[in-house]
Homo-oligomer: A and B are copies of this chain.
Amino acid sequence: MKNKWISAFIGFAAVIIIWQLVIIIGDYPEALLPGPAAVFAKWWSLVVNGTLFEHISISLYRFTLGYVSAALLAIILGLFLGRLPKVWAIIDPVVQVIRPVSPIAWSPFIVLWFGIGNMPAIVIIFIAAFFPVLLATVAAVNRIEPTYLKVAANFELSQKDLMWKIILPAAFPAIGSGLHMAIGSAWIFLVAGEMIGAQSGLGYLIVDARNALDLDTVLAAIVTIGVIGLALDHLLRFVEAGVKRMWTGKMM
């Protein structure tokens, strides 16, 4: 555990040294590539005047809404579609074609239907999270060990019990890795989502600072996004572990 922290520290220290070296050797104008000290100073000033936390909290609000609703809907849909291979055969090709299209390309239609501000950001995060989780869930349900279904049939489980006691727990580890994949890609699209008329949030902060050629702020926000992304991934791990404990029955 302690070793882990030391290694991480070495890693980040190396990055900062390389960053500073690039500036010294490349001789870039400070305005075009700010150094670590300037970025840290800017970051600290954003922390002190509280704007950073405002942006973080609104971004997290949008992210949570978009991600959680996408995850829940995708899991529920996926559990059923995984059990209905004929229906899935119809939906799958459509999903496969829609999935590789960037949310940026959708934005005229997103604005048309969802307006500007919070909603487009939530919708873009929703889209970015929905498909990976859906595909992972359907694949997980399809790949459930036939043995478990056999056991369920042998003990004459009802459809409801089958879903809750067998299919969901059996598919959960694979769904979990879908959730991890999705949390990463959805967080990446935060910036794209907050470009559509949002007046706040980390994505807005980046784009706005970029327009003002305020690259200190851009980098401070990038670092913040990275760290929060990492934290979200770890948070998800906690949630997963909690869910798994639900059906072990380890409470006697």
Question: When A11-B93, A210-B108, A215-B108 are in contact, do A187 and B100 touch as well, CB less than 8 Å?
Answer: yes
- In the complex, the chain B residue whose C-beta lies closest to that of A213 is B108
Give Cα A226 to B103, complex, Å.
12
Q: Are the CB atoms of A218 and B108 closer together than 8 Å?
A: yes
List of B residues within 8 angstroms of A98 by Cβ:
226
List of B residues within 8 angstroms of A227 by Cβ:
97
Question: When A105-B221, A192-B192 are in contact, do A100 and B184 touch as well, CB less than 8 Å?
Answer: yes
List of B residues within 8 angstroms of A222 by Cβ:
101, 105-106
Q: Are the CB atoms of A108 and B32 closer together than 8 Å?
A: yes
> Within 8 Å of chain B (Cβ to Cβ): is A8?
yes
Q: Are the CB atoms of A100 and B218 closer together than 8 Å?
A: no
List of B residues within 8 angstroms of A104 by Cβ:
191-192, 195, 206-207
Tell me the residues in window 57-111 of chain A with beta carbons closer than 8 Å to chain B beta carbons: 86, 89-94, 96-109
> Within 8 Å of chain B (Cβ to Cβ): is A21?
no
Give Cα A90 to B7, complex, Å.
5
Q: Tell me whether chain A's interface is mostly helix, strand or loop, or mixed.
A: helix
Give Cα A14 to B15, complex, Å.
51
> Within 8 Å of chain B (Cβ to Cβ): is A223?
yes
Question: When A33-B112, A89-B4 are in contact, do A226 and B101 touch as well, CB less than 8 Å?
Answer: yes
Give Cα A93 to B226, complex, Å.
10
Tell me the residues in window 211-237 of chain A with beta carbons closer than 8 Å to chain B beta carbons: 215, 218, 221-223, 225-230, 232-233
Give Cα A229 to B108, complex, Å.
21
Taking a contact as CB atoms closer than 8 A, the residue among B195, B215, B229 that contacts A100 in the complex is: B229
List of B residues within 8 angstroms of A218 by Cβ:
105, 108
List of B residues within 8 angstroms of A108 by Cβ:
32, 210, 215, 218
Q: In whole Å, how far is A75's beta carbon from the nearest beta carbon of chain B?
A: 19
List of B residues within 8 angstroms of A96 by Cβ:
226, 229-230, 233
List of B residues within 8 angstroms of A56 by Cβ:
none
> Within 8 Å of chain B (Cβ to Cβ): is A3?
yes
A-B CB contact pairs (8 Å), 19 listed: A7-B90, A7-B92, A7-B93, A11-B90, A14-B90, A14-B94, A96-B226, A97-B230, A99-B226, A100-B188, A102-B188, A102-B190, A102-B203, A104-B192, A105-B206, A105-B225, A106-B222, A107-B210, A108-B218
